[in-house]
Structure 1
């Protein structure tokens, strides 16, 4: 009686330990954001590996059953019921199978429990390595899924290090890489700096997800305005187009679906607070906010802001325009090294030829173009304080 009581107590202790073990795995799975079943399947796979490696079962087809509640495990050798056994490792005779269960037939799958008595210690050591690896893979998969869904969005992180001009940004669960070509010219990055960047691409690699980000992409400017302007978030104001020369100057074209809401004023904000928050984030890059217009001539005139436009001749088929400005506005319309005209062309998607009034007076208008006398609509230019 004493021996039986001790045996029973020992078994109950083992079952309690196994249950605690499974509870711990569930907590770990929840902590790592992994489905518990993924871990349980990893344990079963690890036990199969351990059995084959340590108990001469390499040639055997085995299955491991792990009780999800108690943590008890059993190893079963899987054999095929045959008339005549050719390979005793994979086959069992019909007569032997029917001696155990009479309704077996040829071709059925027969399972024989082969759990070794001292399997626990070896299995635990092997399982630990496999489970840790599976957790790592699952975590990487979760991170990849999370950030791949955020491509073309903004992330905020902390500069972790700079190596070979590449800036590595700590995002908490993983890191992003800002390559030299995606950095704003003249911008410096120091350890601990908090910066925002635009997610270009998320790639799956053997070392985990690789997140490529940009500080120069036009999408960064668009997303920053979306965060700062509630009217954009609500769908009342829309950013129709963005053109950037990173670190120097940008233009955005905005449109309002509500006649009572000024899209330019919404993006500027009270006392310019909204646009200034964007400018501060892109290190004082000058930003022109102009009204989008369905009329191509008016849109082109707006895009050349802050220059005043007298007339615009357009060829809709070829997307070519001829813009006339007052003589004293010519240099402003073209901009330093052609920057204003270049950005306006990028913003509108039109080729823009700019002439002063005196130059235009000496030239004939191309008959293929429709001439429109225009007055530019409201626009706004913002730039940060010089450092």
Structure 2
């Protein structure tokens, strides 16, 4: 070992962003292993690498014993006292070992271990970084597509977007820049596996946080998200500030904020509705763009009956029930929608206007 080696280790630690101490300890462990393998498998030794000048020293360690049963690891009390009269039974005697060619073997072994430890440290750093970002949004570049699975370069790591987590009908090509939502980070024997999604409701929530400063600042709060990926979503928003319009904040000037999110999700329609603590008003808002005449709630069953004008029935229900289904997911209420004429035929009094 020499001072050039020490400088190289330090530069490597800085470049890779890993601890110098970790690398030096790895070198000492490698030298220890090399010695045990080549010179003394059954002998206890201690390796010391000077962090400043690269001087390498190996010490044998033997316990002082009244009766020596293991010559490799024990030394007689008499011999120990010849070295230093202060030694007592049970003490450890260390003596430096000088071996020809050991430095060369140690250097070879140390180099291999340092490279291995750096790889392990880098994997560990990547795992910690992305594990802490679970349920967060990341931007990456499509690297390749294999059997419909998309591999995304995040810079320090690779993310995997499986078919089930892709928006139906969405296609990708190499170099596409996309945003995804981290759903799981796993450490494997070879690397860190980052599973991402384009369909998770959390992606929509994070996109609004990126585009709407009022949400990021906490002035506007997203209360709930209901999503049918690639088709339509509903987002309920709320604010305690009477001077702020939560829906307008999310829509943006001329719809620019929400349109940016729609573009990122390849045309997915997004309804932004105002949250209200009154379930009648909240449910009515959630069924937007349909106009609601009456909302009759059953608190015990968390179910409600909604009445809409005859000409708005299909709009309230939506194509294949989509609008009603999303409103139910958004509010957490079971919703039964009837037209005005159906309600009147059943004797319902239309006394509440939402």
What's the TM-score, normalizing by structure 1? 0.89
Residues in 1 aligned to 2:130 and 2:181: alpha-carbon distance in whole angstroms: 12
Q: Distance in 1 between matches of 2:176 and 2:186?
A: 25
Q: Bigger CA drift: 285-294 or 67-76? A: 67-76
Structure 2 residue 289 is the aligned partner of structure 1 residue 339: no
Query: Following superposition of structure 1 onto structure 2, how do residues 1-387 of structure 1 map, counting pairs within 5 Å?
Result: 18-55=2-39, 57-364=40-347, 373-375=352-354
Cα drift, residue 317 of structure 1:
2.1
C-alpha separation in 2, matches of 1:198 and 1:245:
16
Task: Flag as ranges the 4+ runs of structure 1 deviating above 3 A.
Answer: none
Q: Counterparts of 2:300 and 2:94 in 1: how far apart (Å)?
A: 76
Structure 1 position 364, deviation (Å): 5.0
Contact 1:314–1:320 (8 Å) recurs in 2: yes
Q: Secondary structure at the match of 2:72?
A: coil
Q: Is the 8 A contact 1:166 1:180 kept in 2?
A: yes
SS at structure 1 position matched to 2:140? strand
SS in 2 for 1:185: coil
Structure 2: distance between partners of 1:45 and 1:274: 56
Determine if contact 1:254/1:291 at 8 Å carries over to the other structure.
yes
- TM-superposition CA deviations, 1:69-93 (whole Å, max 9, x none): 1111111111111001101001111
What is the root-mean-square deviation in Å for CA atoms of aligned residues? Answer: 1.3
Equivalent residue pairs, number: 354
1:365, CA displacement in angstroms?
A: 5.7
Q: Distance in 2 between matches of 1:317 and 1:260?
A: 35
Can you give the 5+ residue segments of structure 1 that lack an aligned partner in the other structure? Answer: 1-16, 376-387
CA distance in 1, matches of 2:29, 2:301: 64
Q: Per the alignment, in what secondary structure is the counterpart of residue 205 of structure 2?
A: helix
State the Cα deviation string for residues 170-204 of structure 1 (Å, max 9, x = none). Answer: 11111000001000000001011000000001011
Unmatched segments (≥5 aa) in structure 2: none
Q: 1:365 to 1:72 in 2, by over 3 A?
A: farther
| Structure-2 separation of matches of 1:177 and 1:364 | 56
Deviation at 1:115, TM superposition (A): 3.7
Cα distance in 1 between the residues matched to 2:35 and 2:277: 72
8 Å CA contact 1:312–1:372 kept in 2: the answer is no
